[in-house]
Chain A
Amino acid sequence: GNSVTQMEGPVTLSEEAFLTINCTYTATGYPSLFWYVQYPGEGLQLLLKATKADDKGSNKGFEATYRKETTSFHLEKGSVQVSDSAVYFCALNAYSGAGSYQLTFGKGTKLSVIP
């Protein structure tokens, strides 16, 4: 089956530090890859996505590149801000075989950015 593995948190960084959150996946076929962000008490917001190999998703200074050869989709940001404090989920979307696509999520990584 499909699975997503992302680095365990929590991650604590100082403001303006460089961020990397590792994510690797196992899937049959050619999944699309996503990073979602969840702020406290809220639902999920799509942060960025990539639909095929070598695509780079980017948004709000965050980037991730779809690496098929290493089955990875690591999230990076060059300079984090306090407002980036949240839980980040890596996910893949693949056809479930039952007429729809299903998202498979990693366990989430909590990021805390301190001033």
Chain B
Amino acid sequence: GAVVSQHPSRVICKSGTSVKIECRSLDFQATTMFWYRQFPKQSLMLMATSNEGSKATYEQGVEKDKFLINHASLTLSTLTVTSAHPEDSSFYICSGASGTRYNEQFFGPGTRLTVL
């Protein structure tokens, strides 16, 4: 099956700093990548959808200047949390979908962000 990796798996940072999370599709080309956020004991909330080479589409209520998404290649998307605050602490999960299999997304293992 298709594999998606995320790096780092865990990150702890100080309030006010920026954190970058990488999402890579290892064995397929992800024309579309998705970023989700999951709070403890809750479901996944879609933050944004990005297509390779174009700007991300953000869901309502998600600040695009705070959560910068770059999808520069068919195998890499990055999420940068700028000027992080404790309320940004969460589990961030990415997924990728290829142009030939729109019906299925392949998920990364997630990144646990803790902002002190």
Contacts and interface: CB of A to CB of B under 8 A. Distances in A.
Interface of A: 32, 36, 41-46, 49, 51, 89, 93, 95-96, 98-103, 105-108, 110
Interface of B: 6, 32, 34, 41-44, 46, 49, 51, 57, 93, 95, 97, 102-110, 112
A100 B107 contact: no
B49 A43 contact: no
B3 to A, nearest CB: 11
B102 A100 contact: yes
Contacts, number: 61
Contact of A93 (B6, B44, B103, B107): B103
A4 B49 CA distance: 20
Contacts of A32: 103-104
B97 to A, nearest CB: 7
A51 to B, nearest CB: 6
Nearest to B103: A32
Contacts of A45: 107
Q: Is the interface of B mostly helix, strand, loop or mixed?
A: strand
Given A43-B93, A43-B109, A43-B110, A102 B46 contact: yes
A107 B97 contact: no
B49 A98 contact: yes
A49 B6 CA distance: 24
Contacts of B57: 98
Contact of B42 (A99, A101, A107): A107
Contact of B49 (A51, A102, A105): A102
B107 A105 contact: no
Given A43-B108, A46-B104, A108 B42 contact: yes
A32 B104 CA distance: 9
A105 B42 CA distance: 10
A51 B42 contact: no
A102 B36 CA distance: 11
B103 A99 contact: no
